[in-house]
Chain A
Amino acid sequence: MRLRLAIALVAAGIGVALAAAPARAERLIVSVSNHRVTITPNYAGEELVLFGSVERDGDAFAPPSAYDLVVTVSGPPDDFVTRRKERAFGIWVNADSRQFLQVPSYLAIFANRPFDAITSPELQRSLKIGLDHIVLTQRVGTDYADVVASDPFRRAFIRLRTEHGLYRQNTAAVTFLTPTLFRTTIPLPAEVPVGDYDIDIKLLSRGAFVASTSTRFEVVKIGFEQFVANAARQRALFYGLTIVAMALTTGWLASVVFRRD
């Protein structure tokens, strides 16, 4: 009887331990400094700060120093076409092209140390860690597929977006202030796309995935900028007439102001 009880207790204990093992007792708590970035006439880029901490329940057994973080910020998805120039008849013309469908218009991937030091290549791939592992769907003819990271169009796409500050990857951008408190800055360039941005934060420890969380912010045009951009798209005729009226008024005013005869 006593033996039976002991076995049952041990079995139950193992069961609980097994059940609890994958869901380790770490949680991520994050906050971004500004949830609404506004584009005003004098907007010329901005920087957001992402703060967060790793909360551990009681006796979590990973030593604090073993945490790694990967932060992925992705802007509103959009379609793009990448074209390659080739020489034809002595001049350089756009020849070949690829369409990228529903890819992030802004992408920033930050970590606290190089990805290879954080985890295995397999896990990097499955967790989409790094610009090489982000899915960039291409349309090739009638097929939709992502291609290998070394594809020239894919590489050119990432390189050009990076040159404009729209794609970036930095494996030293996340800093741990204390073993569990971290911060990183999210730089937004002047040509920032408008829309909703997702921030995905992955916590890893000793090469294994531990926890993840996400937050978001939005970039909006407000006031005059929004009014002009909306009018140009949605009330194109009215917008065009306004521009024409503006041109004619300016021209007429000039002829009155500078009249000499």
Chain B
Amino acid sequence: MQIFLPIADLPVNMFLILAMGMAVGFVSGMFGVGGGFLMTPLLIFVGISPAVAVASVSSHIAASSLTGALSYWRRRAIDPALAFVLLSGGVVGTALGVALFTLLRSLGQLDLTIAVSYVALLSTVGGLMLWEGIGALRHARRGLPPKLRRSGSHGWIHGLPLKMRFKRSKMYLSVIPVIAIGLLIGFVGAVMGIGGAFLLIPMMIYILRVPTSTTIGTAQVLTLATMTMATLLHAVTNHQVDAVLALILMIGGVTGAQFGARAGQRIRGEQLRLLLGLLILSVGIRFAVELVIQPQELFTIREIGTTP
């Protein structure tokens, strides 16, 4: 069924978008990530402009992260203090990200920036996850017990000043790296139209050494807040959020996520990470190929609005 998108200004097949929302929702539920890094490229692929795609996907991620955050809240798997400190960085990062997005859009370099960021970020993170996943699998095959995280070890991060106690995570940690990570995730998320959970979760675990029990829930809270804010800022500054598109994506996304979460529980952790790494890497490679190969059409047109 064709439906006309009022902001994207083009008709799309409603069931196609709904199916895409469900598929991405399935993946996001399975791996515990927002799925923006899959959704935005898919929307661009069906002909929606990158600006509308990035802006509308923010609201889709806000919806699915609220669902996630609520269920973690019930299980008391969220550290409110940690979430709050992350957020204070995240809010500033998001505002900076939307400002850069607006600037790049007027310079005509937005599409390139989105593509280059995807290549750099997804290839790196995907590659690292894949590497780590393969290592863990080989380790397990040799019959060795899984490597334990040295929870007591103190890196340079733990020597920084302005320490604060995070009760639920049982940590005593400087707020500087926490705010910095929040800032980075908010910034990257607003520019690229991703929640950034696939970046945030490894950072929290490996850099901040947050216990796994509170990591995902707290990450969901940050994603929820930054994406809510990104939606609002994109709506106010760029007028590029498409309500109809966003609603279809949300409905598909939250439904798919439930089935994904159930499927995810049947797969072992290492395999899950390996699969996610492979997925992230392949999206990154796809963007890289597009940048390097000579495009069939060298010219692009964009409407810049009537000058008075």
In this complex, the member of A82, A92, A190 whose beta carbon has the largest number of chain B beta carbons within 10 angstroms is A92
Give the size range of B's interface with the partner. 35 or more
Binds A, one of B128-136, B154-162, B199-207, B296-304: B296-304
Whether B304 contacts A80 by the Cβ 8 Å rule is yes
Q: Say yes or no: is B232 at the interface (Cβ < 8 Å to chain A).
A: yes
Whether B6 contacts A224 by the Cβ 8 Å rule is yes
Q: Say yes or no: is B140 at the interface (Cβ < 8 Å to chain A).
A: no
CB contact between A241 and one of B63, B71, B75, B232 (< 8 Å): that residue: B232
Given the complex, which residues of A lie within 8 Å of B64, measured CB to CB?
A: 251, 254
Whether B254 contacts A254 by the Cβ 8 Å rule is yes
CA distance A244 to B63 in the complex (A): 8
CA distance A102 to B308 in the complex (A): 10
Q: Are A247 and B66 CB-contacts (below 8 A) given A91-B116, A228-B244, A254-B255?
A: yes
How far, in Å, is A47 (CB) from chain B's closest CB?
16
Q: DSSP class of B's interface residues: helix, strand, loop or mixed?
A: helix
Q: Say yes or no: is A250 at the interface (Cβ < 8 Å to chain B).
A: yes
Q: Say yes or no: is A178 at the interface (Cβ < 8 Å to chain B).
A: no
How far, in Å, is B15 (CB) from chain A's closest CB?
14
Binds A, one of B170-178, B233-241, B268-276: B233-241
Given the complex, which residues of B lie within 8 Å of A10, measured CB to CB?
A: none
CB-nearest residue of chain A relative to B298?
Answer: A85
Binds A, one of B78-86, B190-198, B210-218, B245-253: B245-253
Whether B301 contacts A87 by the Cβ 8 Å rule is no
How far, in Å, is A235 (CB) from chain B's closest CB?
10
CB-nearest residue of chain B relative to A261?
Answer: B74
* A interface residues, tally (CB under 8 Å): 63
A140-161 interface code vs B (CB 8 A; 1 in, 0 out): 0000000000000100110111
Whether B4 contacts A40 by the Cβ 8 Å rule is yes
Q: Say yes or no: is A41 at the interface (Cβ < 8 Å to chain B).
A: yes
Q: Are A247 and B71 CB-contacts (below 8 A) given A83-B302, A84-B299, A229-B7?
A: no
CB-nearest residue of chain A relative to B59?
Answer: A247
Given the complex, which residues of B lie within 8 Å of A252, measured CB to CB?
A: 66-67, 70
Q: Say yes or no: is A9 at the interface (Cβ < 8 Å to chain B).
A: no
CA distance A239 to B241 in the complex (A): 9
CB contact between B306 and one of A79, A157, A161, A236 (< 8 Å): that residue: A79
Whether B294 contacts A92 by the Cβ 8 Å rule is yes
How far, in Å, is B147 (CB) from chain A's closest CB?
31
Q: Say yes or no: is A22 at the interface (Cβ < 8 Å to chain B).
A: no
A87-104 interface code vs B (CB 8 A; 1 in, 0 out): 100111110010101100
How far, in Å, is A242 (CB) from chain B's closest CB?
7
CA distance A102 to B250 in the complex (A): 38
CB contact between A250 and one of B63, B108, B112, B232 (< 8 Å): that residue: B63
Q: Say yes or no: is B305 at the interface (Cβ < 8 Å to chain A).
A: yes
Q: Say yes or no: is A207 at the interface (Cβ < 8 Å to chain B).
A: no
Given the complex, which residues of B lie within 8 Å of A79, measured CB to CB?
A: 303-307
CA distance A172 to B87 in the complex (A): 63
Whether B306 contacts A82 by the Cβ 8 Å rule is no
Given the complex, which residues of A lie within 8 Å of B301, measured CB to CB?
A: 80-83, 157, 160-161
A-B contact pairs, 26 of them (CB 8 A): A42-B2, A78-B305, A78-B306, A79-B304, A87-B294, A91-B112, A102-B306, A160-B297, A221-B6, A224-B6, A233-B239, A239-B243, A240-B231, A243-B235, A243-B243, A243-B246, A244-B231, A247-B62, A248-B62, A250-B63, A250-B251, A251-B63, A251-B64, A251-B67, A252-B66, A255-B70
